[in-house]
Amino acid sequence: MHYTLHQLEIFFKISQLKSITKAAEELNLTQPAVSIQLKKFQDQFPLPLTEYLGRKIHITEFGKEIADTAENILEQVATITYKSAAYEGKVAGKLNISVVSTGKYVTPYFLSDFLKKYPGIDLTMNVTNKSEVIKSIEENTVDFAMVSVLPDHLKISRIELMRNELFLLGKDNPSKSGMQMSTQEFKKLKLIYREKGSATRQAMESFLDQQKFTNHKKIELVSNEAVKQAVIAGLGYSIMPIIGIKNELKNKEVQIIPIKNLPIITNWNLIWLSSKKQSPAALALAQYVKENKIEIIKKHFSWMESKSFLP
């Protein structure tokens, strides 16, 4: 057999994504190039690695075993690269970060210059809801997580970053006074919720419970982006983090609806298990964020501190 690391990488990516097209996109290759390498790889085995059911590609049981082995080989090759860099005095390695959905508006700004400073570090960032993020920390499958609500059942270390403020948002203000909305006016609103397990959903429900607001008209959506688009379309109102709607506020596609006891204020935190033995790459990121967070916040999030978005 004379398969190459490149072919292993291509087949492993296809096995992950179950799609030649998506694999080609992620590897920055053309679809024909991926198909050719897959065929060359397949020709070296007596059993099929893939099969087509309809127009969808499926990985055979034999193919899954080869994909698992390919993953191990690729990880060992990466380890060789990282160790070589370490002997040269360079910081290198893998970083895995799990980020709550709204955190995608924050996290990249704390990583951009760091990754430029340490080009030997490979980053994997998974954006999902709060429940999945906490699960990844609990199971020790990531180096860090970005959250606005701290888990109270885990011993964690953290770096507090910046404020997270949630306001009531709508396409227009239905208040008769045009100013602060009354309790009775609020009760008539159709509210748009994030899915269960979301920190935004948790914050919104906590606010409603504390204020003893009852509201039975609701829509439930599975991402902040979906909620934002629904609000823009006039489907209803929602309590959302201000961080994700800067441009929409600027373009007057949505507006903040004043109401008593809002905004809800939490803080963004970079967290990790206190018992976790951090890699050189993880230690480098923690140190970088501690030293540069004030400058990063000032450079990219000064508009939040100025309160220029408030009505």
| φ, ψ of residue 121 in degrees (nearest 5) | -95, 130
Residue in 179, 166, 165, 130 with CA at minimum distance from that of residue 151: 130
pLDDT given for residue 289 in this prediction: 96
* Count of beta carbons in the 10 Å neighbourhood of residue 241: 26
Rg (CA), the chain: 24
Q: Look at strands 121-128 and 93-100 and give their pairing.
A: parallel
Are 200 and 242 within 8 A, CB to CB?
no
Are 200 and 166 within 8 A, CB to CB?
yes
The predicted model scores a pTM of 0.71
Residue 86 scores a pLDDT above 70: no
Mean pLDDT along residues 130-134: 91
Retrieve residue 302's tokens. 């000064």
Selected residue with higher pLDDT from 273 and 308: 273
Are 181 and 243 within 8 A, CB to CB?
no
Q: For residue 203, which amino acid is it? A: A
Residue 196 scores a pLDDT above 90: no
Mean pLDDT along residues 146-165: 92
What secondary structure letter does DSSP report for 195? P
Residue 309 scores a pLDDT above 80: no
Selected residue with higher pLDDT from 81 and 218: 218
- Model confidence at 215, pLDDT cuts 50, 70, 90, reads low
Q: Which of 20-24, 83-87, 123-127, 142-146 has the lowest mean pLDDT?
A: 83-87
Cα(18)–Cα(51) distance, integer angstroms: 11
Beta-carbon contacts of residue 200 (< 8 Å; ≥ 6 apart): 101, 102, 166, 194, 224, 227, 239, 240, 241
